[in-house]
Amino acid sequence: MTEGSIMSVRGLKKWFPVRKGIARLLSRRQEYVRAVDGISFDVKKEEVFGLVGESGCGKTTTGRLITRLIEPTDGKVYFESQDLLSLKKAELKKIRRKVQMIFQDPYEYLSPRMTIFDIINEPLVVHKITKSKVEEEKLVAEALESVNLDPNEKMYKRPHELSGGERQRVAIARSLILRPTFVVADEPVSMLDVSVRSGILNLMLDLKENYNLTYIFVTHDISVSRYMCDRMAVMYLGQIVEEGPTEDIINKSLHPYTQALIAVVPTIDTTEKRYIKAIKGQVPNPINPPPGCRFHPRCPNTMEICRKEEPKFIEVKSGHYAACHQYK
């Protein structure tokens, strides 16, 4: 692990085997969807690190891999100098008190059969934190208050009686009731109305300060990542193509894909000029990614070397990395 990091990821891969239909049964070669294909990054303690990219780029799979919700094909994940991928079930259970996840869809994530009390209390039961119902109610009430929900009003309601924003606050309370130090937030506002998104984002930033949290913030929205993240990594087709401080990536982006993502973000500044060559085509098939640079079939700046040789991920400027043949 690098100095000052709470989590380090090295060469992480997740290849999902493709289920064979009749046509594929004739072939003996097993095919794989290369959802995450050899990524490395570090997350510093008490920062918000963003994973940004189009749907299908592998960012959500990355979040599930580093929380051990799914097992990787290859690679290493270190949390507080411990190799997470080598931990047995009992050891991993202890780590889960420190590493939690906030899921994208509160409508699907919260069981309609459980009360809000049961939902938030479940981690306390699993980890045997409390010894009495009175203690459970006290901790659940504190968790609800921390996300600005009235426990007297909400504790024994069911999810269908809450609004979308309230449900996501319950999901956040459930993730934080064990007092973790590291949280993966997977698109936590993408399912919510625009009118309530800012409230959830501000809440998450307040909780970060109050509980000294470290976040990995997964999003497809560059504008949200700019508001939330200290540093960010841009993913494309299972790989990281650019990484650095958020303001550097927004204002001085290096990779053509990042530049294209930023160019389509709406702005109210009518004097701002954004000229950039548009990317073309669709995201290639992750079963058979293009040779060389994976972005080259869509890149407006493609060179001959891009079609043949995979670019190295190098430090172009201090703390600002990119995988592009324009920089050597």
Q: What is the mean pLDDT of residues 213-229?
A: 95
Cα(51)–Cα(14) distance, integer angstroms:
16
Question: What is the residue extent of each domain of the chain?
Answer: 5-98+180-323
Residue 13 has a pLDDT of: 97
Q: What is the mean pLDDT of residues 159-182?
A: 95
| Residue 225 vs residues 118, 206, 230: alpha-carbon distances, Å | 32, 16, 9
Residue 87 has a pLDDT of: 93
Q: Is the pLDDT of residue 162 over 60?
A: yes
Q: Is the pLDDT of residue 24 over 60?
A: no
Residue 264 has a pLDDT of: 76
Q: Is the pLDDT of residue 276 over 90?
A: no
Angle between helices 133-146 and 116-126 (to 10 degrees): 110
Number of residues that this document lists for the chain: 328
Q: How much is the pTM?
A: 0.91
- pLDDT mean across residues, the chain: 91
Which superfamily does 5-98+180-323 belong to?
P-loop containing nucleotide triphosphate hydrolases (3.40.50.300)
Contact predicate 245/322, CB 8 Å: no
Residue 321 has a pLDDT of: 97
Residues in Cβ contact with 323 at an 8 Å cutoff, skipping those fewer than 6 apart = 239, 240, 241, 242, 255, 293, 310, 311, 312, 313, 314
Report the amino acid identity of residue 226: R
Q: What is the mean pLDDT of residues 277-287?
A: 79
Q: In what order do the strands lie in the sheet with 214-219?
A: 99-102, 182-186, 214-219, 48-52, 231-236, 239-245, 320-323, 313-317
Q: Is the pLDDT of residue 272 over 60?
A: no
Contact predicate 40/79, CB 8 Å: no
Instruction: Specify the higher pLDDT residue, 71 or 25.
Output: 71
Q: Is the pLDDT of residue 25 over 60?
A: no
Each residue of 109-132: pLDDT tens digit?
Answer: 899 999 999 999 999 999 999 889
Each residue of 58-108: pLDDT tens digit?
Answer: 999 999 999 999 999 999 999 998 999 999 988 999 999 999 999 988 888
Q: Is the pLDDT of residue 275 over 50?
A: no
Angle between helices 164-176 and 116-126 (to 10 degrees): 20
Q: Is the pLDDT of residue 225 over 70?
A: yes
Low-confidence winner among 15-24, 39-48, 201-210 (lowest mean pLDDT): 15-24
The model's confidence at residue 200, banded by pLDDT at 50, 70 and 90, is very high
Percent of the chain beyond pLDDT 70?
93
Percent of the chain beyond pLDDT 90?
77
Contact predicate 255/241, CB 8 Å: yes
Residue 8 has a pLDDT of: 96
- Tell how far CA 262 is from the center of its chain: 19
Residue 251 has a pLDDT of: 92
Is 182 in a helix, a strand, or coil?
Answer: strand
Q: What is the mean pLDDT of residues 48-65?
A: 95
Dihedral, 95, 16, 322, 183 alpha carbons, nearest 10: -20
Cα(228)–Cα(201) distance, integer angstroms:
7
Pairing relation of β-strands 32-44 and 239-245?
unpaired
Residue 215 has a pLDDT of: 98
